[in-house]
Structure 1
Amino acid sequence: MESHGLSRNLRHLRLLLSVAETGSLTHSASILNVSQPAVTQAIGKLERETGGRLFDRTRQGIFPTPRCEVLARRLRRAFDRLDPALTDVAPRLMLTATWAQLQSLVAVHEAENFTLAARRLGLAQPTVHRAISQLEQEAGQSLFERTAFGLLPTRQTRALVQAVMLAFAELDQADSDLSELDGGETGQIVVGSLPLSRSVLLPRALARFREQRPRYPVMVIDGRYDELLRNLRRGEVDLIIGALRQPAPIGDITQVKLFDDHLSVLARRDHPLAGKTGLTAKDLQECKWVVPRRGTPSREHFDALFAPIGQPESIIEAGSILLMRELLAESDHLGCISSVQAQAELSHQLLSELDVTANWPARPIGLTYRENWVPTKAQALLIDIIESEAKTLSI
């Protein structure tokens, strides 16, 4: 079994993609303004890096192998994202921009400072400064506005950075695809986890995934929706699991509903209201509450319950079920969370559910991806398992 470490030499990757699409070394050399021996050397280097032959050379011509086809699909997606953004800044950058320069561009964009960007990359500050200067010289324009508060990217730079990060993500997935081809495991899955998924759905799905992929790296990132969405659109998160937004907040994502959920009101088991039936908003208005943050679907539904009579005055905003559970157990606070999320607390008899007369609207729970995202085999497996587990949670 070969290990894979596809180099990020953009010129070599462009050459390979051109040969795969044209079937001609000579034509590809002409398109990219290099010699034919340079094309041959680039392909040889990539074959060593990817662990196998990329082209079959016959009297009839040169033809991509299945390994090359796997790689070419990812390269095409990577350059389809990168090249329009490079062209928008300056067409010449398609031929001159290097991986190292674009990596520096992303780091400076994130840090808004050359020194901090260099530290993030483990490079000397002059190296990063020179990379940005070279890009700006080729582009014929500044990519950042120098201010007293740091380096502020232009609109084109922001768009380019997002395209670069998505292209980088495709190349990382190319490594995974090539490794899968040889029976190996390379890469990782990054899941953005919203509160509902953390207590029931995601743990069950990950346990099943581990049975089939015991060593495959998985990273779960807890966060607020807007933060996770930003990272998803930049390629740093592969999928988000939790409450969907209606309508979708932006057009370049895809939402897939798994099931509908409703809200529940929880309290400690010996709470004064425990066991009472037909509780109304008026009965609960004077209570102390622990509720989700503003801007979440759960909070919107909670606020709607009290809209006709006025909101409770004693509210703690929190996204942690653990904090809510402990606070409810130690006081007369009430909690308002997802019915699915409450299952673990109720099944272990840690809390009780109050009988509240409320027409809670259904909340769609599901997965959020980037538009036209193509998962690796490992990512697709986890999604299949999540969808299977979700069927057992539909309420």
Structure 2
Amino acid sequence: MKWNLRHLRVFLAVVHHSSVSRAAEECHLSQPAATQAIAKLENGFSQPLFKHKAQGLYVTEAGAALAQRVKRALTRIDQAAAPISPRLIATATSSQLDALIAVRELENFTLAARHLGLAQPSVHRAVARLEAEARKPLFERTAMGIRATRAGRQLADAARLAFAELDQAVMDLADLAGREAGQIVVGAMPLSRSFMLSQAIIEFRKRRPSVLIRVDEGPYDDLLAGLRRGEIDFLIGALREPVPIGDIVQTELFADDLILVVGPRHPLSGQDRVTLSQTIRFPWILARKGTPSRRIFDQLFAGRPTPQSLIETGSMILMRQLLQQSDHIGFISRLQAAAEVDLGLMVPLRTELHETRRPIGLTTRLGWIPTKGQKMLIDEISIAVRQRNICSVDN
């Protein structure tokens, strides 16, 4: 949905005053223009946002839901725009902010135009108008290309989160109208893909068959960046200790531990007891540096000889193949390996490992309010955890 920020400001003013005329005065518009702005919003959502009463206009349930989201979205934009130039609050358009976001991300006007499906001069013009109102550059040219200034980054990031909030508004109002709209984007780390997320999606689909679910995979830092930009709704997987940045919230669902696994024909397979010192002559497969499981590996070998041959990967498929075809040892989550162990593709070593607990759970943006659909999927994830008889933090 293409947003008209001026119409949204008129909408909030009508909500506040219960009057189109007073809203028009506040927004420096004629009353017919304000009335038209509200009509366009209602047509866009195909449902009334106000009830007409003798005392004035009063929001419907849909209007109240929209007002909550719009207020949060515009507050983000205004808080970023005001320090740059108060005029931006009144003059910045969604098209200009879309251009700002694209150029900030791609650092090139031609690539940004292609991404937006626009002509390059149109994108350049949109950014130039923003800079004219800001009375300062939002981009600077470097040897590597075009890079956003600090002000440009702050405004682009705020606008991106604002538009994510407005996308949630579309989902909220579709829910109230008995329709399905929008998409849910989950950033999934390896363990969550093993069992929690698949089961949750299957159950969610029974009640919400049409909502698009997108599962993004990748390194934690990339997923976290996507979450903070508003491109991802929530992350599921191993939590970080301490919390890496203050604008996210982590919610633990259960605790998992790490084990050593090998292929069925490994020399250590079947032994009653295997010490860490016996494992160091074999090559290991483990997660990359900076992950919780890699930090646990470093703690296990603190002050003692460590394996010299290491492969860093988050791929279960690659680990399984290496274990099947060689004498590698895998260092992996017990739950993540459970299906492979049940099938006999991996064999846990009888090794006493201390303090390998990892908290597993959800990561969301600070202050994030999920839509009904997003909350439903999160609830199904919690149910999937309980059904697997995992020791959750509530037990």
**Counterpart pick for 2:390 among 368, 390, 394:** 394
Q: Which of 232, 238, 250 matches 2:233? A: 238
Deviates more, 1:83-92 or 1:52-61: 52-61
> Of residues 138, 149, 152 in structure 1, which corresponds to 2:147?
152
SS state at 1:88 partner: coil
List runs of 5+ in structure 2 lacking aligned partners. none
- Do 2:286 and 2:310's aligned partners in 1 also have CA atoms closer than 8 Å? yes
Structure 1 stretch 18-27 or stretch 169-178: which is displaced more? 18-27
Aligned to 2:79, the other structure's residue is in SS state helix
**Partner of residue 106, structure 1:** 101
1:281-329, Cα deviation, whole Å (9 max, x unpaired)? 1111111111111110011111221222122101111110110001100
C-alpha deviations, 1:259-288, integer Å up to 9, x for none?
Answer: 011101111112110111231111111111
The number of residues matched between the two structures is 390
Give the Cα separation in 1 of the matches to 2:31 and 2:367.
35
Alpha-carbon displacement from aligned partner over 1:347-386 (angstroms, at most 9, x marks no partner) = 1221110001211331100000001111111110000010
- What SS does structure 1 have at the residue aligned with 2:356? coil
CA distance in 1, matches of 2:150, 2:390: 43
**Counterpart Cα distance in 2 of 1:218 and 1:51:** 24
Q: Which amino acid aligns with 1:365?
A: I
Aligned to 2:111: 116
The alignment's C-alpha RMSD in Å is 1.1
Q: SS of the counterpart of 1:89?
A: coil
Code of the residue aligned with 2:286 in structure 1: it is: V
SS in 1 for 2:236: strand
Q: Where does residue 91 of structure 1 map in the other structure?
A: 86
The answer to whether residue 131 in structure 2 is matched with residue 136 in structure 1 is yes
Q: Once the two structures are superposed, what CA deviation does each residue of 1:64-105 show, in whole Å capped at 9, x if it has no partner?
A: 111211111110111121110011211100100001000000
Amino acid across the alignment from 1:192 = G
Partner Cα distance (1:143, 1:159) in 2: 10
Q: Hey, what does 2:167 align to over in structure 1?
A: 172
Secondary structure of 2:82 counterpart: helix
Shift of 1:393: 4.9
**In the alignment, is the contact (CA less than 8 A) between 1:263 and 1:360 conserved in 2?**
no
Asked if 1:205 corresponds to 2:200, the answer is: yes
Aligned counterparts, 1:308-323, within 5 A: 308-323=303-318
CA contact (8 A) 2:187 2:232 kept: yes
1:335-358 deviations in whole A, cap 9, x for unaligned? 001111011111122111000121
1:284 aligns with 2:276: no
Q: Structure 1 residues 90 and 393 mapped into 2: Cα distance closer, same or farther (>3 Å)?
A: farther
From 362, 377, 383, the equivalent of 2:372 is 377
Native 8 Å contact 1:340 1:393 kept in 2: no
Q: Which deviates the most, 192-201 or 135-144?
A: 192-201
- The within-5 A match list for 1:243-392 is 243-391=238-386, 392=388
- Tell me which stretches of 4 or more aligned residues in structure 1 moved more than 3 Å: none
Give, in whole Å, the separation in 2 of the partners of 1:39 and 1:136: 28
How many angstroms apart in 1 are the aligned matches of 2:385 and 2:16?
41
Letter in 2 for 1:263: L
SS in 1 for 2:110: helix
Matched with 2:40 is: 45
Instruction: Give per-residue Cα distances to partners, 1:232-260, cap 9 Å, x unaligned.
Output: 01100000000000110011111000001
Query: Residues 280 and 358 of structure 1 are in contact (CA less than 8 Å); yes or no, is this contact kept in structure 2?
Result: no
- CA distance in 2 between counterparts of 1:348 and 1:157 reads 53
Write the letter of the residue equivalent to 1:381.
M
Q: Distance in 1 between matches of 2:310 and 2:14?
A: 63
